[in-house]
Structure 1
């Protein structure tokens, strides 16, 4: 099929070339031979009167014209895919669809187990691919390129160009080792907090400071960061055997307390709450499969909250029982 003298089948090849910057990898991506992809590139160069990809050293790089075409081509293909490939209804019990979610390790351990459990109740064939978050200076690119069905990220990292739904709010607490001076004192004041050695989480994928770090910088609070890690889940482990303080999400802190000798203390400053949200491409808002997935995520939040409240009540009851005099 041609449009303005361009064979529209070449757009698929062009998108693959833009994505891979390699003729052989682009050919494999769209199941063509290398010679067929080379021929497609020659035809595209002739149509656009531009080299599109040029050799720089041992790699191919996009020309300015190609860089200008990259996002519009991906946008056109995504529109076509959304309009034609989406089924009118979604039956999870009969679907073999793989949903790709871009999530942090925090989301992976707190929310994803509940999502997977709920999904398993409805389907044994649906699959999930949980991938690390890409660089989030421009998060809409992961959605625009069709690299993800959903992003699950704090709202302040979401793009204004695509729909957003808040899943839950999260507050920050301080976590310390049980043998630390802060745990022995049972309190952590502001001056002690500022003077302490800290564990800071800075995910490699996020090109902006985390909400906690942004707040500190805005308030002009200078902390001594003794350890910086890319992993939220690792932070509780990095306070063990020391007087370090890790400022972490409350849900993660509660989980860590079940397995580690750590104490959770209130943060001695008014840290803002995090709005954990999900975001999807605007063209896929009415995709029945994604409607199902988004509904399931909200249900997973309800289940997560109920389980954590039950665990907190149980822990409170055990602490009360342990404090009673013997024989009472």
Structure 2
């Protein structure tokens, strides 16, 4: 099919080329030969009267025209997928759909096990890919790399819909052999003077990371260890006098298998809201509507288990 003398099939090839910046990888993604993809690129160059991809050293880089086209082409294909290619109904028991979920390791350890348990009751054919929340979340949604993101509300994207999932509070985690655990209390003075283990998510840009630290580590004067992983934090206080600030749900899981004690923050309490977010063009996608509902069910399942009280 042609529109304005352009073979619309070439838009899919263009999308792959601009995303991959590689003829061979784009060909592999589309299950084409490299020569066929090279032919598509030649036709696209002729139509747009632009090289689109140019060699810089050993890599291919986008021209300025290609940079403009990249997001526009992806948006067009997302709209087509949502309005035409997506089935009008979704039956999980008969679907082999693969859902791409962008989540932190905190979410992967706390909420996602309940999502998978509930999903398995309805389907043994659905597939789930967990991917890290990228440094530029908007691109993950708009490129189709992520169907759904679970993210802290302050870092959600303003251009796409969100739904509140749950709140979690932050708490302090210390080793059972530490002076804090032995005394049974953690004062503000002790908290301020102690060494801390801080989580520093690798995907965050500098301004966001500065806000992250300002929110979580107020009055913590000595950050002695940083880690990219929420899950690793309680392991890094074991055998030390350090304090890790953690989401309470994850801390309670850690307490079951590690020699750690939980304390409430001696600073003003801080609660974090977790939301799910999806592309605005996919709000009516029946599969995502089902998945979003499953997420809410998983929250109920997660919060009705034992060990929900946080020591003060």
TM range (shorter): over 0.9
The alpha carbon displacement at 1:272 in A equals: 2.7
Q: Deviations over 1:133-173 (max 9, x none)?
A: 111xx312111001111001101111011100010001000
Q: 1:166 to 1:312 in 2, by over 3 A?
A: closer
Q: Deviations over 1:161-218 (max 9, x none)?
A: 110001000100000001111111211122221211000001212222286513257x
Which residue of the partner structure matches residue 199 of structure 1? Answer: 197
CA contact (8 A) 2:216 2:245 kept: no
Q: 1:84 to 1:252 in 2, by over 3 A?
A: same
CA contact (8 A) 1:176 1:264 kept: yes
Which residue of the partner structure matches residue 34 of structure 1? Answer: 34
Q: Deviations over 1:62-83 (max 9, x none)?
A: 0111111110010001111111
**Hey, which bits of structure 1, 4+ residues long, moved more than 6 A?**
none
Which residue of the partner structure matches residue 298 of structure 1? Answer: 296
Q: 1:166 to 1:85 in 2, by over 3 A?
A: same
Which residue of the partner structure matches residue 209 of structure 2? Answer: 209
CA contact (8 A) 2:152 2:275 kept: yes
Higher mean Cα deviation, 171-180 or 271-280?
271-280
Partners in 2 of 1:212 and 1:287 — Cα distance?
A: 33
Report SS of the residue matched to 1:152.
strand
Matched, 1:225 2:189: no
Summarize the alignment of residues 117-136 of structure 1 with structure 2, pairs less than 5 Å apart: 117-135=117-135
**Structure 2 segments unaligned to the other structure (5+ residues):** none
TM-score by length of 1: 0.91
* Alignment RMSD (CA, Å): 1.6
Which residue of the partner structure matches residue 322 of structure 1? Answer: none
Summarize the alignment of residues 270-309 of structure 1 with structure 2, pairs less than 5 Å apart: 270-307=268-305
Larger radius of gyration: 1
Aligned length: 309
Q: 1:210 to 1:271 in 2, by over 3 A?
A: farther
The alpha carbon displacement at 1:4 in A equals: 1.3
Which residue of the partner structure matches residue 158 of structure 1? Answer: 156
Matched, 1:311 2:291: no
